[in-house]
Amino acid sequence: MALKFKPLGKLVMALGVTATLAACGNGGNGGSEGSNTADGGSESAADFSGTINVTTREEGSGTRDAFQEIIDFEEPVASALVQNGTDQVISYVAGDTYSIGYISLGSMNDTVKALKIDGVEATEENVANDSYKIARSFNIVYPGELEGAAKDFHDFIFSKEGQDIVLENGYVPVKSDAEAYSGDGSASGNINIAGSTSVGPVMEKLKEAYEEKNPNVQINITQNGSGAGITGAQEGTADIGMASRELKEDETGVTAEAIAKDGIAVIVNKENPTDDLSVDQIRGIYTGEILDWSELNQ
């Protein structure tokens, strides 16, 4: 038997449908507003559309400098949201379906998705064999010759134990034939280290292992950006600076030495169906030539 609805019932149903449709829209995310139409990741990349919410690192970030140099652009689009650290980029992208960002490959976790670049996956193996092109060195920076505990910690970093820690934490070692650490545990004193938030996590692991072998050494690490780390080494406020880029021409009076090689992962939200972008497409996104995800499928 066919059911008959009274006018009030029809109105309630209509309101319910309207509310349901509204709930499916793109919620506020702090980025650009637009007619974003993702459907919980169920659509294909070819159907995916919506304003691309670009996020970038702060000025002075080694990751930003390396990324812009490799992708080959001067400054990001004016609407890009600036983040002051790796964790902030990950958090933003994890919470915004239409966002894109970049981070140290060694900092990747399962809350975001790393894109292939020109068909090549972002992996430690592909960084090591040079097939993944968005990669850079992790450097330590210091003035003159290191002495005392700082010199001993330097030697530990480049020992087999130190380079094994680099590998265990998702980075590519720079010395495949490193010798065992020869320190006898007699080192003492304080070591002040400052700089890159990308280098920071692996430096913390190196610190922990070194202090176990040398209990009379205290290492203080401040993660405040590559530029600050280099300046600290130049001015003597840091015994060792950390930089996730090479030195610039005007950054003189210090030596940079690579302790590891790291890829820069281009990341998107896990609900974004896009899996692969070219370097040219990434450049277009970051310069504002490409504004909508649908433009990547034309």
More confident residue, 2 or 86: 86
pLDDT of residue 46: 83
Q: How far apart are CA 223 and CA 60, in angstroms?
A: 12
Cα–Cα dist 16/11, whole Å: 9
Contact 244, 104 (CB under 8 A): yes
Judged by DSSP in three states, 119 sits in coil
What is the location of CATH 3.40.190.10 in the chain?
49-134+264-297
State the average pLDDT over residues 123-136: 95
Q: What is the pLDDT of residues 44-73, one digit of tens each?
A: 888 899 999 999 999 999 999 999 999 999
Please give the radius of gyration of the chain, using alpha carbons only, rounded to the nearest integer. 24
* Fold for the domain defined by 137-261: Dipeptide-binding Protein; domain 3 (3.10.105)
Averaged pLDDT, 173-178: 94
pLDDT at 227: 95
Task: Read off the amino acid at residue 18.
Answer: T
Q: Regarding predicted confidence, which is higher, 80 or 7? A: 80
Parts of the chain belonging to CATH 3.10.105.10 = 137-261
pLDDT at position 42, please?
57
CB neighbours of residue 281 within 10 Å: 19
Fold classification of 49-134+264-297 is D-Maltodextrin-Binding Protein; domain 2 (3.40.190)
pLDDT at 184 over 70: yes
pTM: 0.75
Residue 218 β-bridge partners: 190
Separation between Cα atoms, residue 64 and residue 54, nearest integer Å: 13
